[in-house]
Chains A and B, each alone.
Chain A
Amino acid sequence: MFDVLFLQFLNGLDKGSAYALIALGLTLVFGTLGVVNFAHGALFMIGAFCAVAFRQLLTLETVTVDPEKLSPWGAPVEIRAPLVQAWFGDFGAVLVNYSVPISLLLAVPVMLAIGIGMERGLIKYFYKRPHAEQILVTFGLAIVLGEIIKATFGPNPIPQPMPTDLRGAADIGAWLGMQPGVITYPLWRLVYFLFSLGVIAAVFAFLQFTTFGMVVRAGMADRETVGALGINIDRRFTIMFGIAAVVAGMAGVMYTPLLPPNYTIGMDFLVISFVVVVVGGMGSLPGAVAAGFLLGILQSFASMHQLKAFFPGIDQVIIYLVAVIILLVRPRGLLGRRGVMEA
């Protein structure tokens, strides 16, 4: 029994990581700028499509017709030669193989630019407007971004292969001294989990140990006083929006081998991430991360067939049920501070 539960726990980690990363970004934006960003899921999606675009660039091919040979039924034979391999040889093959992690290099500047552009170009004008209008404008933006992706890449999910070296499964049970072959976990999910831990640690370290982060934290606590000290807090908050976009984008890039992205992936994750933020406590960064993992693992436990035999469909609703119970029992969320959005 223990190994079954442990396996479900592991299975929840990768989804939990994605929830935690998106919720972290949402909370960063809400904590600094006071805006609930309905377009945050779209940023996750754009990140995923950075990986798609990068791979499509890498796998551009030249197609020539073989002058001599014909296929058995008499049609001309096409010779496909990937350009990258033609230029770089074996190194090109490695590039294609590792396209998903390498596309992080593309995703970071792109997401930073999109994030800062979004804040400066649109959201900036909505700080003084009512919450309903902030929600509406970011919601409209989410539709627009999703439709642009749909127009560019088509409506169907585009599978992204993971690097061949990371395709197998890790025998975690054997590592922990248990019987080998009982608890195996796909390597890429392990990579995703470790990667997200790294990103979360980096964000917290950035906020905790740098001067920039200290100013941002001070601004989250009392924006006006920090501004009165002669610090351009708006610019720092804009950069934080960019960082939140980068976090969402990286989460999206690395998630592509687990779930082929299409243009609705953003909204699918966003709705659950909102629930995560509500459960964790609006405005609390540790709360968002903890609730992200918690709900991911809960969802994984709920999809066990032993449990589904008693409550059919429990895996579909468990997250919302938890949110409802939390809201009824502890309205400010698990780790929410008193007075933040407690109305």
Chain B
Amino acid sequence: MAGFMSRRDLTLFVGFAAIVLLLPILAAPFGAAYPDLLQRFMIFGIFALGFNILFGLTGYLSFGHAAFFGVGSYAAMWSFKLLSLNALPAIIFAVAIAGVFALVIGYVSLRRSGIYFSILTLAFAQMCYSLAYSVLTPITNGETGLRMASSDPRVLDRLFFDAPAGVPVPSLFGMSLSGWNGFYFSAVFLLATFLLAMRITNSPFGMMLKGIKSNQNRMNYTGFNTRPYTLTAFVISGMLAGLAGALLVVTDPLAGAERMQWTASGEVVLMTILGGVGTLVGPVIGAWLIKYFENIFSSFNDNVLSSFFSFLPDGAREVAVTIAGKFVGEGWHLSLGLLFVLIVVFLPGGIMEGARRIGARFGRPRNGSRVGRQRELSPTAAE
């Protein structure tokens, strides 16, 4: 293993793997230890890690990553419908299709950088979204969303056995993927993605990407053609978004266009920023926190709130419930937007930056070889 990764990375990976695999136990005190939510933790962790390979390493801020997520969802669903209920071909198919989309969109968008790039990716994503809603209805089933039906062809499955009765559900070589099986299935992919992100960060390719982030002009003058590198990063990150989209379909067999909307693109940006742009574990932490609070906050209603504020006198309690009610339940996105603004204003480096600041204040001064120091780049964008 020594040649494969440094000892520090090995420690980080083993620690991360232990936390992920023990999550069903670790999340229990927070009331989050049920497979559906934890599976979302895994899926959006992959999404954020993939996004971070682009934004964190190269500084190119894409506002259209939800498009690849949605494309992955649709592709996986079509694989379930046409080929087989097995999850593996669906995932491979979804990743490939998302990769093709990323190649095309990236090829055009990466001709510009900075703000132009963000605008272009946003425009492409909105184009995919409006197409999925209108003209492509035969493929995407428009507003209703795409579902499996027992009458689907599923050619590969029919070769070997008869169509099962009832509503079809995805499986893995006959093993059910509901409940904890589904969680561990996604967890394996999260760990693989984490390993990939780690390898990329430390590879010469990753160094090149970081060079592009800190000064693209200088990279060009040094004689590197930077475009193939950024395009590769874009495609990898698009494919990981497709993977996440496919995994979400495995959990929740419904592919809808709203997963491609700009709010979804904004959410993954927020996850990455909240955790810490350019760090390895940051995006995963950000994704987990947001999915956790989304789950908690959006389940709140006025009854829960009034029992929460029960220590207040009657009048004050009503005021408190009314005000807090705007931020939870349906209004969860308002809290999300506020959080977004606050993080960007006060802590652009995210939680990882905050942890480092706290660590620097209380810890004894150490030399530069601390874990993560070299990985944590200041979040500056490509100029």
Q: Give A residues with C-beta under 8 Å from B.
A: 36, 122, 125, 129-133, 135-137, 139-144, 146-148, 150-151, 267, 271, 274-275, 277-278, 282, 312-313, 316-317, 320, 323-324, 327-328, 331, 341, 343
Which residue of B111, B131, B334, B345 contacts A148 across the interface (Cβ within 8 Å)?
Answer: B334
Query: Residue on B with the closest CB to A137?
Result: B344
The 8 A-B residue pairs with the shortest CB-CB distance in the complex, in nearest-first order:
A313-B135, A143-B337, A140-B340, A132-B381, A147-B334, A144-B337, A140-B341, A130-B381
Q: How far is the CA of A130 from the CA of B134 in the complex (A)?
A: 37
Q: How far is the CA of A36 from the CA of B263 in the complex (A)?
A: 18
Is residue B372 within 8 Å, beta carbon to beta carbon, of the partner chain?
A: no
Query: Residue on A with the closest CB to B122?
Result: A271
Surface stretch bound by A, among B112-120, B249-257, B286-294:
B112-120
Is residue B282 within 8 Å, beta carbon to beta carbon, of the partner chain?
A: no
Query: Residue on A with the closest CB to B334?
Result: A147
Which residue of B63, B116, B337, B380 contacts A140 across the interface (Cβ within 8 Å)?
Answer: B337
**0/1 per residue, B132-163, Cβ < 8 Å to A?**
00111000000000000000000000000000
Contact A331 B123 (CB under 8 A): no
Which residue of A130, A143, A271 contacts B126 across the interface (Cβ within 8 Å)?
Answer: A271
B interface majority secondary structure: helix
Contact B123 A320 (CB under 8 A): yes
Please indicate the chain B residues that have their CB under 8 angstroms from the CB of A133 in the complex: 344, 348, 379, 381
Query: Residue on A with the closest CB to B325?
Result: A151
Please indicate the chain B residues that have their CB under 8 angstroms from the CB of A136 in the complex: 61, 269, 273, 340, 344
Contact A267/B262 with A313-B135, A317-B127 known, Cβ cut-off 8 Å: yes
Q: How far is the CA of A267 from the CA of B264 in the complex (A)?
A: 13
Which residue of B111, B262, B340, B381 contacts A131 across the interface (Cβ within 8 Å)?
Answer: B381
Which residue of B124, B270, B379 contacts A320 across the interface (Cβ within 8 Å)?
Answer: B124
Contact A135/B118 with A147-B334, A313-B135 known, Cβ cut-off 8 Å: yes
Q: How far is the CA of A274 from the CA of B121 in the complex (A)?
A: 11
B201 to chain A, nearest CB (A): 19
Q: How far is the CA of A131 from the CA of B340 in the complex (A)?
A: 16
Please indicate the chain A residues that have their CB under 8 angstroms from the CB of B135 in the complex: 312-313, 316
A11 to chain B, nearest CB (A): 18
Which residue of A144, A277, A316, A343 contacts B113 across the interface (Cβ within 8 Å)?
Answer: A343
Contact A143 B123 (CB under 8 A): no
Please indicate the chain B residues that have their CB under 8 angstroms from the CB of A144 in the complex: 334, 337-338, 340-341
Contact A278/B134 with A132-B379, A141-B341, A143-B336 known, Cβ cut-off 8 Å: no
Q: How far is the CA of A147 from the CA of B331 in the complex (A)?
A: 7
Most buried by B among A146, A147, A312: A147
Contact A143 B266 (CB under 8 A): yes
B20 to chain A, nearest CB (A): 28
Q: How far is the CA of A147 from the CA of B339 in the complex (A)?
A: 13
Q: How many A-B residue pairs have CB under 8 A?
A: 124
Is residue B59 within 8 Å, beta carbon to beta carbon, of the partner chain?
A: yes
4 other A-B residue contacts (CB within 8 Å) besides A132-B59, A143-B266, A343-B116: A133-B381, A150-B331, A267-B262, A278-B119
Is residue B171 within 8 Å, beta carbon to beta carbon, of the partner chain?
A: no
Contact B341 A137 (CB under 8 A): yes
Contact A320/B337 with A130-B380, A131-B381 known, Cβ cut-off 8 Å: no
Contact B119 A274 (CB under 8 A): yes
Contact B345 A275 (CB under 8 A): no
Contact A139 B131 (CB under 8 A): no
Q: Give B residues with C-beta under 8 Å from A.
A: 55, 59, 61, 63, 108, 111-116, 118-120, 122-124, 126-127, 130-131, 134-136, 262-263, 266, 269-270, 273, 326, 331, 333-334, 336-338, 340-341, 344-345, 348, 379-381, 383
Mind listing 24 A-B residue pairs with CB under 8 Å?
Answer: A36-B115, A122-B341, A131-B114, A133-B348, A133-B379, A135-B118, A136-B344, A139-B269, A140-B341, A143-B263, A143-B333, A143-B336, A143-B337, A144-B337, A147-B337, A274-B119, A275-B123, A282-B115, A312-B135, A316-B135, A317-B131, A327-B108, A341-B114, A343-B383
Please indicate the chain B residues that have their CB under 8 angstroms from the CB of A146 in the complex: 337
Please indicate the chain B residues that have their CB under 8 angstroms from the CB of A343 in the complex: 112-114, 116, 383
Please indicate the chain A residues that have their CB under 8 angstroms from the CB of B120 in the complex: 278, 323, 327
Please indicate the chain B residues that have their CB under 8 angstroms from the CB of A135 in the complex: 61, 63, 115, 118
B231 to chain A, nearest CB (A): 15
Q: How far is the CA of A327 from the CA of B124 in the complex (A)?
A: 13
Please indicate the chain A residues that have their CB under 8 angstroms from the CB of B334 in the complex: 143-144, 147-148, 151
Which residue of B123, B134, B341, B344 contacts A271 across the interface (Cβ within 8 Å)?
Answer: B123
Contact A313 B345 (CB under 8 A): no
Please indicate the chain A residues that have their CB under 8 angstroms from the CB of B326 in the complex: 151
Contact B131 A327 (CB under 8 A): no
Contact A274 B127 (CB under 8 A): no
Which residue of A125, A141, A327 contacts B112 across the interface (Cβ within 8 Å)?
Answer: A327
Q: How far is the CA of A331 from the CA of B136 in the complex (A)?
A: 30
Contact A143/B119 with A130-B379, A313-B131 known, Cβ cut-off 8 Å: no
Which residue of A139, A277, A313, A341 contacts B136 across the interface (Cβ within 8 Å)?
Answer: A313
Contact A316 B127 (CB under 8 A): yes
Please indicate the chain B residues that have their CB under 8 angstroms from the CB of A312 in the complex: 135
A23 to chain B, nearest CB (A): 12
Contact A271/B262 with A130-B379, A144-B341, A147-B333 known, Cβ cut-off 8 Å: yes
B109 to chain A, nearest CB (A): 9
Which residue of A125, A132, A147, A327 contacts B345 across the interface (Cβ within 8 Å)?
Answer: A125
B156 to chain A, nearest CB (A): 31
Query: Residue on B with the closest CB to A316?
Result: B130
Query: Residue on B with the closest CB to A323?
Result: B123
Contact B337 A122 (CB under 8 A): no
Query: Residue on A with the closest CB to B333?
Result: A147
Which residue of A130, A274, A282 contacts B122 across the interface (Cβ within 8 Å)?
Answer: A274
Contact A341/B116 with A139-B266, A144-B341, A151-B334 known, Cβ cut-off 8 Å: yes
Query: Residue on B with the closest CB to A141?
Result: B341
Query: Residue on B with the closest CB to A313?
Result: B135
A187 to chain B, nearest CB (A): 29
Most buried by B among A131, A275, A313: A131
Query: Residue on A with the closest CB to B336?
Result: A143
Q: How far is the CA of A42 from the CA of B126 in the complex (A)?
A: 17
Q: How far is the CA of A271 from the CA of B263 in the complex (A)?
A: 12
Q: How far is the CA of A125 from the CA of B346 in the complex (A)?
A: 11
